[in-house]
């Protein structure tokens, strides 16, 4: 199973509004995407975080490169900053584990 973690922090008030305008449809898309096994969102520290689990990295990439998520990615640098991290695992991490992985191993964008 492929685990994808994100921690995004909007870049101000207007970016915060735009962030949610884009994030909600992208999250709904993930929930319905082929190969999605788990999808959750939670605010941790100053970051809006997601944990998603996928049957494979390829199916996660298919989601990542399409629809509402692609639209959100194109606007990302204007509206948010934060780390992402993906890896293979047999278990879905807890929120505490996910946030530790993001801060210690995540790639900042």
pTM of the model: 0.93
**Residue 77: per-residue pLDDT:** 92
All residue ranges of the chain with pLDDT < 50 are none
| Domains recognised in the chain with CATH numbers | 2-108 (3.30.70.100)
- Structure confidence by residue, pLDDT tens digits, 1-29: 999 999 999 999 999 999 999 999 999 99
**How would you write 24-80 as a 3-class SS string?**
HHHHHHHHHCCCEEEEEEEEECCEEEEEEEECCHHHHHHHHCCHHHHHHHHHHHHHE
**Residue 9: per-residue pLDDT:** 95
């Amino acid at each position: 199973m492929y685990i994808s973690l994100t921690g995004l922090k909007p870049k101000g008030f207007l970016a915060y509004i735009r962030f949610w305008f884009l994030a909600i449809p992208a999250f709904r898309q993930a929930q319905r995407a082929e190969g999605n096994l788990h999808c959750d969102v939670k605010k941790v520290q100053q970051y809006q975080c997601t944990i998603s689990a996928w049957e494979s990295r390829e199916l996660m990439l298919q989601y990542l490169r399409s629809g509402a998520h692609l639209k959100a990615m194109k606007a990302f640098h204007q509206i948010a900053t934060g780390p992402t991290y993906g890896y293979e695992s047999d278990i879905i991490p807890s929120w505490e584990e996910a946030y530790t992985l993001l801060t210690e191993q995540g790639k900042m964008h």
